[in-house]
Structure 1
Amino acid sequence: MKLGILPCQGACNVGNMTSKVALKYVDNEKINMVCALGLPLGIKKIIDMAKENDKFIALNGCPMKCSSKTLDKVGITGYEEIVLTSDFGIEKNKNFNDVSNMDKVEQKVEEIIKSFFHNQR
């Protein structure tokens, strides 16, 4: 079983944080990074690689939910959705070094990962 994580990678602190959190868990065997640009651009190889995952985490920085919309665009549904601003009360800003409450985001991602792999036994 494989889990795909799609960080929004937006141009703000919360977008940057989604990338940092995703990279902490990606191991390319069980947990894969999904390409945030390749999916909406319709690059077939990237879409095919993404669809090899059995479940997804849409790791959104803000209410625009770019990660969720990107998965929706290629017909991937039923994902776990996280929004840093509303789920954790993290204020969106242009300070790329601001990682306030990132530990709470990591805890939530860990919960989803453990639940996914525990339920696959």
Structure 2
Amino acid sequence: MQPASSCACGAKPRFVFACSGAADVGAVADLAARRLSADGTAAMFCLAGIGGRVPGILKSVETASAIAAIDGCPLDCAKKTLEQAGFTGFGHVRLTDLGLEKGHTPATDEHVAQAARAAAALFAGERP
């Protein structure tokens, strides 16, 4: 698979956003998004730029063929940030729905891989 950040002659980008919060599940969400970006599944993009309504970032995301948000907990900060900026129809995975527990889920390779698989499934049109 070609990395999401490279040009593929007219291919629209796929973006992944992570809550990247202070809790352990936020760290897992962040690392999972980074893994998806590194393996070419989707380009990790700046959620703070969405929240800050940075015009260039908003314009780039409007061109996406697919968007996924990874939230660590039921506060759904990534999902809400995207929605408040007007983005809809994107995939969403909440790590606590996968059995990861806020405050008790260290950012191990196993937890990151589990989160990355769930988010990658969204891009494949599957349910996590």
| TM bucket normalised to smaller | 0.7 to 0.9
Q: Percent identity?
A: 23
Partner of 1:101: 111
Q: Which runs of 4+ in 1 moved over 6 A?
A: none
State which of 15, 22, 33 in structure 2 corresponds to 1:22: 33
Please give the per-residue CA displacement for 1:16-72, whole angstroms capped at 9, x wherever unaligned: 111111111115977221211111111111111222212211101100000101110
TM-score by length of 2: 0.77
Structure 1 gap ranges (5+): 117-121
Aligned residue pairs total 115
Partner of 1:81: 92
- The question of 1:61 aligning with 2:52 is answered no
Query: Which residue identity is paired with 1:111?
Result: A
CA 1:14–1:89: 2 relative to 1, 3 Å: same
Deviates more, 1:59-68 or 1:103-112: 103-112
Structure 2 gap ranges (5+): 1-11
The RMSD of aligned alpha carbons is 2.5
